[in-house]
Amino acid sequence: MDAINIKQLAAKLNLSTSTVSRAFRGHSDINKETKERILAMAKELNYQPNHLASNMREKRSKTIAVIVPEIANNFFSQVIRGIEGVAREKDYHVLIYVTDDNYEKEVAYITHLNSGRADGVIMSVSGEANDHQYLKKLKSKRMPLVFFDRVYEDIDTAKITTNDYESSFDATEHLIKAGCKKIAYLVVNKNLSIGKTRMNGYIDALKKHGLPYVDEYVIDCSNDYEANSLILKEAFKILKPDGVFASVERLAFSTYYVSYELGIKIPEDLKVISFSSLEIAPLLNPSLSTITQPAFDMGVKSAKILFRAMESGGDFSESDNLILNSKLIQRRSSGG
Amino acid sequence: MDAINIKQLAAKLNLSTSTVSRAFRGHSDINKETKERILAMAKELNYQPNHLASNMREKRSKTIAVIVPEIANNFFSQVIRGIEGVAREKDYHVLIYVTDDNYEKEVAYITHLNSGRADGVIMSVSGEANDHQYLKKLKSKRMPLVFFDRVYEDIDTAKITTNDYESSFDATEHLIKAGCKKIAYLVVNKNLSIGKTRMNGYIDALKKHGLPYVDEYVIDCSNDYEANSLILKEAFKILKPDGVFASVERLAFSTYYVSYELGIKIPEDLKVISFSSLEIAPLLNPSLSTITQPAFDMGVKSAKILFRAMESGGDFSESDNLILNSKLIQRRSSGG
DNA sequence: TTGTAGGCGTTATCAT
DNA sequence: ATGATAACGCCTACAA
């Protein structure tokens, strides 16, 4: 009762394996009747060509790998949904790898992919460490790589990002116009390119409006809820900011929790805006002002660019560096 | 500069492919020095055994498939995270398939998996249609299948679910004790086993407390936000429920939006409780009372059971039907 | 239109 | 300890 193979099927039909193979590959030179006979019998015996074998023969896996820092996160899950949809259309399969922002895992995944498991990679980087040699190996193996959102600048490959600098500038300016004088910038990893870019927008907006840039107002958080809670509690007590710009959704949530706890009223005492892909931002208490990235669309575009590269031999062009626009949506948390 | 293979590597070293192969498989009979020489050269040439080939040889893919109705959803993304973690430990890879609650896609995915792409499947079903023949084929191919959360009762395989009946009973009772007399039950697909089970809990709780069961109070919704908004608006206007029990997170969100719009005050005019895995339920306006399923844990357990089955030849035992407990967390939306 | 045969890259078996 | 060889299941160039 085990899986049947092409040989057995051919035997049952008194045909050669080539003919059977042809029936499945939409080949030209095959008698219509024979083909039908084959497909009918295949159905009856529940035969399907073995992918492992045919992929090996054709030297491709019909699979793409998606590497993300986390998955239980609105932004990434929406991106993945976008990627999955495109892959499905192309009849490709999607492997998921979660790095938990861990550099070693990232290296390990990429390294293991160097072995025929995937034909291409879409990834949002962990941002730890500075040695990106392991990624260059992909290139030498002609395995196209697309970065989205969090990228390594020193790797020359397609990058799908959003206009982080402008958005951050706008968000900060938005808080200033709402009357904030002491705006805290919440970040998870200052060294990550994305953290830097967003911070520059913040700094330049302060400058433009003649507000001083104060180092302490840049609050370096972690990926851990508990830890962030402590960090923010301390910071809020000491600095007493009247505005918070969270560079990551999670930090906005922590801001809410801490504010509840300390009796800080949003938006009266503290105005908040955050990068976020949360679809229910309007349902929060108070509704959260957001800079919303086109997550789903980023997934779709990343996948399309990857497929184009795979179809054309693995090369990218300058036009494969896309910068999409995020949307600033003002809600109650920033005084709207 | 293309990928190198074992033959070329062996040639460079003046060794046979067998010896090189042994170096990679931790085989006993190999000279330590030779092994080191091989590994060093492999590193230099960036050689890695081709998975497609070795998997084919060993007749397994070291891959599991995860099929879910949707992915941009807290419950499913947390389950996936759990699965992914276990898979990683076992050095397995994870394929993701999204059905969008579409029966045809479900059938298509399952059918295509009958071909060596995966060694096992974890799935939460779409629940459309009643012909589950296609799943039986998996069994004949010795491909273990684990259902989680949404299952087909007529398929004899491992099932990881939660105590939906009891949770629903408790949730309904909770609303009754909070003073509700006219409780609406919101459901997406009445015919899905999960919808039925949860509804039974609702019905029995009404009975126990002497409240009439009224057909109109069971409100059949869809997966579309817009459509649900209309359905609920109509229903709320006509039925004027004082309690809502949402069998799915999404419907609680719609309830909030509609209530805002109609000026219905939660919890004063309407008390709400919902199945939900939302980590920020406390931040909603008002904070949402939830029945929270142990999503991450369900993922972990599903994966572990699948691996045990794969390791032991594909069979499940009665003890592989797990029923985990959800937690009822009372918050402001139900009057807490 | 169909069949024959070789090879994709790896590994286990058997021999040396 | 190492090497030669066959086999995994499929596909295609070539032959008939």
A234-238, long-range: CB within 8 Å, 24+ apart, which pairs?
A235/A184, A236/A262, A236/A264, A236/A270, A237/A262
**Model confidence band, residue B203 (pLDDT cutoffs 50, 70, 90):** very high
In this structure, the protein residues whose CB atom falls closer than 7 angstroms to any atom of nucleic acid strand D are A 3, 5-7, 17-18, 21-22, 24-25, 27, 48-50, 53-54, 56-58; B 14-19, 22, 28-31, 34, 53, 56-57, 59
Question: Tens of pLDDT along B116-173?
Answer: 899 999 999 987 777 888 888 887 778 899 999 999 989 999 999 999 999 999 999 9
Q: In this complex, do B116 and A80 lie within 8 Å of one another by their Cβ atoms?
A: no
Interface of B with A in 283-322 (CB under 8 A): 283-287, 296
Q: How near does any CA of chain A get to the CA of B310, in Å?
A: 15
Of all residues in chain A, the one with the smallest CA distance to B96 is A94
Task: Tell me how far apart the alpha carbons of residues A224 and A228 are, in angstroms, rounded to a whole number.
Answer: 6
What are A228's two structure tokens?
A: 């962030």
CA A265 to chain centre: 33
| Residue B130 CB neighbour total at 10 angstroms | 9
pLDDT at B28: 67
Q: In this complex, do B112 and A48 lie within 8 Å of one another by their Cβ atoms?
A: yes
Q: Whats the size of chain B, residue-wise? A: 336
Question: Tens of pLDDT along A103-134?
Answer: 999 999 998 887 789 999 999 998 777 788 88
> Measured CA to C1', what is the nucleotide nearest A57?
C8
Task: Tell me how far apart the alpha carbons of residues B227 and B230 are, in angstroms, rounded to a whole number.
Answer: 5
pLDDT at B139: 79
The H-or-E segment that residue B14 falls in is none
D1 C1' to B19 CA distance, Å:
9
Question: Tens of pLDDT along B23-82?
Answer: 998 776 788 899 999 999 999 998 999 999 999 999 999 999 999 999 999 999 999 999
pLDDT at A28: 64
What are A327's two structure tokens?
A: 């949307």
Task: Tell me how far apart the alpha carbons of residues A190 and B319 are, in angstroms, rounded to a whole number.
Answer: 48
The H-or-E segment that residue A308 falls in is helix A295-311
**Model confidence band, residue A1 (pLDDT cutoffs 50, 70, 90):** very low
For the cut 90, the answer to whether the pLDDT of residue A207 exceeds it is: yes
Task: Tell me how far apart the alpha carbons of residues A183 and A71 are, in angstroms, rounded to a whole number.
Answer: 30
Q: In this complex, do A283 and B287 lie within 8 Å of one another by their Cβ atoms?
A: no
Task: Tell me how far apart the alpha carbons of residues A216 and A214 are, in angstroms, rounded to a whole number.
Answer: 6
Residue ranges, CATH 1.10.260.40, chain A: 6-57
Question: Tens of pLDDT along A39-91?
Answer: 999 999 989 999 999 999 998 899 999 999 999 899 999 999 999 999 999 99
Hey, what CATH class is B6-57 in? mainly alpha
C10 C1' to B49 CA distance, Å:
8
Q: In this complex, do A80 and B70 lie within 8 Å of one another by their Cβ atoms?
A: no
pLDDT at B2: 67
Q: In this complex, do B3 and A48 lie within 8 Å of one another by their Cβ atoms?
A: no
Q: What is the DSSP string of A242-282?
A: SEEEESSHHHHHHHHHHHHHHTPPTTTT-EEEEE---TTGG
Q: How near does any CA of chain B get to the CA of A256, in Å?
A: 7
What are A6's two structure tokens?
A: 């092409």
What are A248's two structure tokens?
A: 């990551």
Give the residue from B72, B43, B49 showing the smallest Cα distance to B62.
B49
**A56 is near strand C: CB distance < 7 Å:** yes
pLDDT averaged over every residue in chain A: 93
Which DSSP category does B328 fall into? E
Assess B226–A contact: CB distance below 8 Å, yes or no.
Answer: no
Question: Does domain A164-293 fall into CATH 3.40.50.2300?
Answer: yes
Q: How near does any CA of chain B get to the CA of A210, in Å?
A: 34
Q: In this complex, do A116 and B285 lie within 8 Å of one another by their Cβ atoms?
A: no
For the cut 50, the answer to whether the pLDDT of residue B1 exceeds it is: no
Residue ranges, CATH 3.40.50.2300, chain B: 62-162+295-325, 164-293
Contact between B146 and B120 under an 8 Å Cβ cutoff? The reply is yes
B62-162+295-325 has which CATH code?
3.40.50.2300
Which DSSP category does A47 fall into? -
Contacts of A51 in chain B (CB under 8 A): 115-117
Q: In this complex, do B284 and A286 lie within 8 Å of one another by their Cβ atoms?
A: no
> How distant, in Å, are the alpha carbons of A206, A274, B39 from that of A174?
11, 12, 58
**Nucleotides of strand D within 7 Å of the protein's CB atoms:** 1-5, 7-13
Of A1, A96, A117, the CB nearest to B51: A117
Give the residue from B213, B205, B219, B218 showing the smallest Cα distance to B175.
B205
Amino acid at the residue B106: E
Task: Tell me how far apart the alpha carbons of residues B169 and A66 are, in angstroms, rounded to a whole number.
Answer: 41
Chains A, B: CB contacts within 8 A come to 146
Assess A133–B contact: CB distance below 8 Å, yes or no.
Answer: no
C11 C1' to A46 CA distance, Å:
29
Q: In this complex, do A96 and B81 lie within 8 Å of one another by their Cβ atoms?
A: no
**A285 is near strand C: CB distance < 7 Å:** no
What are B242's two structure tokens?
A: 């004082």
